[in-house]
Chain A
Amino acid sequence: MTRTAVARDGSLFRLGLGVAALAVVALVLGIAFVLVDGSLLSLRAFGFSFWRTQVWDPVARRFGALPFIWGTLYSSFLALLLAAPVALGIAVFLSELSPRLLRQPLTFLTELLAAFPSIVYGLWGMFVLVPVVRKLEVATPGWMRHVPLFSGPPLGVGMLAAALVLAVMVVPFTAAVAREVLKAVPGAQREAAYALGATRWEAIRMALFYGRTGIIGAVMLGLGRALGETMAVTMVIGNNPQVSPSIFAPQYTMASVIANEFTEAADPLHLHALVEIGLVLFLLTIVINALSRLLLWRVGKKEEAPAVPAAAAPVAA
């Protein structure tokens, strides 16, 4: 085959890659279009009140997304709160402290945790975690149960169980990315700290500080995973649409309600309301993505941080 003039100047190559890149844009727009098109009935019937209505009653044909938005955000942030310190601890141990013999197997195991299908976590949550959480709830002293954070009957299933399962699922992701970030911190930074008489802990703190944009990115990646997680959460959160501050109360998330009710939604309005929940989740993901980008940008800008590979932006499943 001889090389044609077109092939030589690279225009075909550029065209091919351009099409691939544009396909991403087309895909996002396509998803947005399908979500809006599929939720027209509900959009017309409820308008913006959909966002702040607490009622979800398919029989009375009244639908509001607030309990699900609340449930998704609450479970995700709670999971992040639990997962971030553990994940950072794992990352620091693996990259800075671990004896060389342990490093490979532990890294492998951490990454293996990320590969389990979420239904496996759901089963584990149902049969192992929920009974433990129930025992914990029963053992909670009476005076604590008057605090809104811990009120409600001790069911086991609920916000706490969901957040714990999510945390377990998020840890390997965040830990793996944070480890990569720490690995990318130049040895010269640690050496500079050691040469000034830093202890190991102080040198590690300096490395964490140097990689802070990447670390934030790692945490945000975990948040993205938590926001979109469906199966495992559905199995342990209790599936009760209510806005409650209690971590013991059974609640509901956006992804869970879509998964649970989609097949049974005979009423077109019900179906459209579910698709609109999908639209809300889509928008929420975009907003959180944008906010985390902004955060990374601000942190990076402040000190003109050198380029540590900022971890991939969060992508909701």
Chain B
Amino acid sequence: MSRTIIDKLWDAHAITTREDGMSLLWIDRHLLHEGSFHAFDQLDKRAAAVAHPEATFGVADHYVPTRGRAKGIANSEIARMVDLLKENTQRHHIRLIGLDDSRQGIVHVTIPEQGLTLPGLTIVCGDSHTSTHGAFGAYAFGIGASEVAHVLMTQTLWQKKPKRMRITIEGALGSGITAKDVALTIIARIGADGAQGCAIEYAGSAIRCLSMEGRMTLCNLSIEAGGRLGLVAPDETTFAWLQGRSFAPQAKAFDEAVEAWRALGSDSDAKFDREASFAAREIAPTVTWGVSPEHAAPIDGAIPDPANIRDASRAAAVRDALAYMDLKAGTSLAAIRIDRVFIGSCTNGRIEDLRAAAAVLAGRQAVVPGLVSPGSSRVKRQAEEEGLDRIFRDAGLEWADSGCSMCVGMNGDVVAAGERCASTTNRNFKGRQGPGARTHLMSPAMAAAAAVRGQLTDARELLAGRT
């Protein structure tokens, strides 16, 4: 029978399926960050061991300092979070990419860089943006602390098979249009719950043309559309990116793996439960104006008027969002002034993202303060080799170390109450970047353009003649 890539990955990992449809899935890779201490507590309470420490990897990212790292962590509560990860992983013989490791970075950036994210694997992490790893054709999803404990103890998880959804984007993306614009366009159309209960396969010629970095950005944001996970079938782009990476198979083993990976794609006549399609040429640079990623619109658009929204609860949500964001219905998005920018995160902290931002900023000055936090230490080194750090510094932006940083503000990198931030991150929820902070989500090039103009700007205006 014809199967989608989702069916193939599911079938290959289902150990047993109960009458009620719940399956026990085998988990190939388990990623941990500082938030894992509750799960280790559950282990300790049962005096249980980690079933497969060799399939488990720890990464310090959520609480790590991005500035003045050499001085240590001043805040003792935050220091304890980082220390606990070290203690727990050591105690259970789990490899750790810790604060002082040359590979340190955001889990969803550094783990793929190491070649640990491979097609056909099941990958879980106690972080909703684990969907990122789907870019390689892996079945990757976020879980809660109790599930983390369950995987630690058994290397398995009980799961209900999600509905299969295909989002197809055909055609060529316009110049200056990125995976971030694609993702925000999808979420704006289908809604923050548009892929509720679904595993998404992204397909179509526009997806095939995306780099691995672009695919990671797109899959990362699947959760913001409510998707359980998002993935792209592996192809030559995937294989070329993986070849030679530390943990990827080497030499003959790699060639054999590629043969197996080629068979993972959805069969041509496979049926999906839901389908949505978009025309690539209609996707414009997109920014958010509200407090949900679905509150997004093309940069040449305007803020919607709740008076024109028929659905009462949606109108109320828009009214509430505009009050929080201190914005008026009908305002042109390109007229919104900003107070700072943030470039980084598991969504847009990769080398390609930094290049895109630097292409806008080269030879220009930012008129607002801003922080650039590379997604990993490796990305940081590569950016410095390419001279990108100089471009950011010369423009007046701060060049920092790698971590989750201002996307979630747990390490103290926060946006002040009432401030408006142009941000390359994934959530514009109330208080996400700090209590009272106002977030506008956009691509790295768009955030860079906002830094130069001090207001939301179509980056293409600043890229004209440059690319």
A complexed with B: no
